Amino acid sequence: MLDDELYRGAYGIGAEFGHMRAVPEGHLCGCGIRGCFEQYASGNALLRHAREAIHASPDIAKNLLARGDGTIEGLTGRQVTAAAQDGDTVAIAAFNTTGQWLGALCASLVAALDPEAIVIGGGVIDAGDILLTPTRDSMNRLIPFTGKRPAPVIVPATLGNDAGLVGVADLARR
Ligand SMILES: [Zn+2]
């Protein structure tokens, strides 16, 4: 939102921050580009980080693996979130990695836009501070010109994962 108006860009597809590039020649994204933040700092990315941890250390991660059907592919984001809420260290580490990437994206947005607040939606935000604490820590560490401005608040979207749906309905009503 810029000056209380939804910013949509010249052609209506602006503010796709998740498709800014984080990693040169990184993971292929659905948008056709490699290395987008979305591949490192989203709900799907959380699952990827968890699966990589299980793959690297199956013994340490066996409790997390047991939350699903016992296969790495069968594990779901919801199960990783539930495990993290129960204190599973591998699941929490996956959230920390996701939060570090998300915080890096937020810090870049601070450099570009100097926002008062960053509102984060999507299903993964149901995890609350398990995701937001490492995100805030990472952003605060990476904001340029530290101390020259207050850091924006990072808050979960009030409508959670339904925000997109409600937005579309609202747009259609006008
Ligand atoms: Zn992309």
**Residues 99, 120, 116, CA angle at the centre, nearest 5°?**
100
CATH number of the domain located at residue range(s) 18-173 in this protein: 3.30.420.40
19 CA distance to ligand 1 middle (Å): 4
pLDDT greater than 90 at residue 103: yes
Q: Which helix (H) or strand (E) element contains residue 117?
A: strand 117-120
Which tokens hold the place of 38? Answer: 């979305």
168 CA distance to ligand 1 middle (Å): 21
pTM of the full structure: 0.93
28 CA distance to ligand 1 middle (Å): 8
140 CA distance to ligand 1 middle (Å): 25
Q: How confident is the model at residue 162 (pLDDT cuts 50, 70, 90)?
A: confident
Domain positions in the chain are 18-173
39 CA distance to ligand 1 middle (Å): 7
